[in-house]
Structure 1
Amino acid sequence: MVVLTGLIALVFAAIHVFIGRLRWLDTMPRNRGLSFAGGVAVTYVFLHILPEIATHQREFADEIGLTGMAVERWIYALALLGLVVFYGVERRVKVSRAQMAKAGQGNRTGNRELWIHIGSFAVFNFLIGYLLVHREEPGLLSLSAYSVAMALHFVTADFGMRQDHAAAYDGIGRWVLAVSVTVGWLVGQLIALPPLAVGGLFSFLAGGVVLNVLKEELPEERQSRFTPFLLGVAIYGALIFIEASYG
């Protein structure tokens, strides 16, 4: 699995590096592929990550001495925290852009907000790289589901970030994100956190994925496409149910 997960980490890194060359994604209304990818990522969160964490609820309860219901609340609180953190970052970027435009400095973000945005996604990518090695559910099917969902999520998130910070992303931003996911994978090879911590990281990741997808799909100016999004949900949801039945 070391070689396979390493290759997947390199594919993740390549998405960051080469997303700018996928010119066909930059269409309006929103490219169907981006909406489809968003549907897949959200489906993975709700039908794979959160249910899988819930199956380990009793283990978590025994480890920290809480009731099952209390542990469940903590699990979902971490998912909520992931959503709130990334919402806060996105909101700060939008406010900074509006302030810069009002000051006559063009449609761009302040340097501090730029690096907060890139830095937050670097941490996010590090988690994805680490969890590539330490998933809640081991096995090839789980790895495949995780890899496909995160790869498509990277396409959606990177496209949005490149729209927000084109020059910085094409310059150093893409390399920071590419390195962060590979470093996360490397740390995963060297350090194994306890199951409780892995479950917490997955919960936080879930909230971040949901926010990042919705912030790309919901704004009116994106002119997103519902049908491809729904198709991504339906197809990937069916595959997850098939995987569960097969398992």
Structure 2
Amino acid sequence: MFWTTLIYIIGFVIIHLFSKYMKFLKVVPRSRFLSVAGGISVAYVFLHLLPELGHFQSELVGELEGGTWAFIESHIYIVAMIGLAIFYGLEVMVKKSKKGKDGQVRGGSGVFWVHIGTFTLYNSLIGYLLVHDHFENSWGTFFYFIAMGLHFITNDKALRTSHEDDYDKYGRWLLTAAIVIGWMVGIFTEVADVVVSFLVALLAGGVILNVMKEELPEERESSFLSFSIGMVSYSVLLLFI
């Protein structure tokens, strides 16, 4: 497990550090590759992460008595909704901060650091779940790597568009470090299933919002066909493997 996940973590690091050099990821019209990547990420959420939440919920029934955790035991999908809402709120905050300015959020802006700080936690969560998500076999880990790796490319493009030079100077390094730190925490610690289910739910909500906010705006000229190809093809793979 250690060596397998280490290889995948190195892959995540390479994606973060070198995605800026993928010149074909032009903004408008939106790269067909990004739409395919978005479809793959959404397929992974609906065919793996959300069903896994259902599994967690059934496994945890009756194990928790009283308190907040008992509520989450029966309403784990609320956590996914909260994850979606958090990232939606971030996008609204960033867009409002641009109004009346030159369109770039400065490195010294509190908005920039809040935005990047949240994605730093998001990346560390993805690194942690690489170790502690309950994959059935090595294929499960591989498909997680592919889905999240493509998701990282999409996120890098979006954050670079929002923050330009500040993202390359500060943001991408923080996000790269976060994924490694999350993985290291996962290697040396282990938490209860209810905590893992909480983290998976947050990730599911975050992925859905981060994908759709990039695909839906009309000015992006996204490709529904490419999105569908990515979603359908990855769904078939997940269902057969």
1:114-143: CA deviation from partner (whole Å, max 9, x where unpaired): 111111100000000000000133420110
Matched, 1:61 2:57: no
Distance across 1 between alignment mates of 2:240 and 2:28 = 34
Q: Distance in 2 between matches of 1:191 and 1:212?
A: 28
What is the rounded CA distance, in whole Å, between the counterparts of 2:79 and 2:188 in structure 1?
Answer: 25
Are the equivalent residues in 1 in contact too, given 2:93–2:111 (CA < 8 A)? yes
The 10-residue stretch of structure 1 (26-35 or 57-66) with the greater mean CA deviation from structure 2: 57-66
- Residue of structure 2 equivalent to 1:12: 12
What are structure 2's unaligned runs of at least 5 residues?
Answer: none
- Unpaired runs of 5+ in structure 1? none
Distance 1:15 1:166 in 2: 18
CA distance in 1, matches of 2:119, 2:14: 16
Instruction: Please give the secondary structure, in 2, of the residue aligned with 1:64.
Output: coil
The answer as to whether partners of 2:61 and 2:74 remain within 8 angstroms in 1 is: no
1:87 maps to which residue?
88
Matched-pair contact (CA < 8 Å) for 2:128–2:185: yes
SS of the residue aligned with 1:56?
helix
TM-score w.r.t. length of structure 2: 0.94
CA distance in 2, matches of 1:144, 1:209: 18
Where do residues 30-69 of structure 1 align in structure 2 (5 Å cutoff)?
Answer: 30-65=30-65
Moved over 4 A (4+): 70-73
1:30-66 deviations in whole A, cap 9, x for unaligned?
Answer: 1100000000001100111111221232221122148
Aligned length: 236
Q: Secondary structure at the match of 2:103?
A: coil
- Contact kept in structure 2, 1:161 and 1:169, CA below 8 Å: yes
Residue 15 of structure 1 and its aligned partner are, at CA, apart by 1.1
Within 2, Cα distance between the matches of 1:46 and 1:72?
A: 20
Question: What secondary structure is seen at the aligned counterpart in 1 of 2:152?
Answer: helix
Alignment RMSD, CA only?
Answer: 1.6
2:191 counterpart SS class: coil
Aligned ranges for residues 157-172 of structure 1 at < 5 Å?
A: 157-172=155-170
Aligned equivalent of 1:108, options 104, 110, 121: 104
- The amino acid across from 2:75 in the alignment is W
Return the TM-score normalized by structure 1. 0.91
Question: Do the aligned residues in 2 keep the contact of 1:61 with 1:71 (CA within 8 Å)?
Answer: no
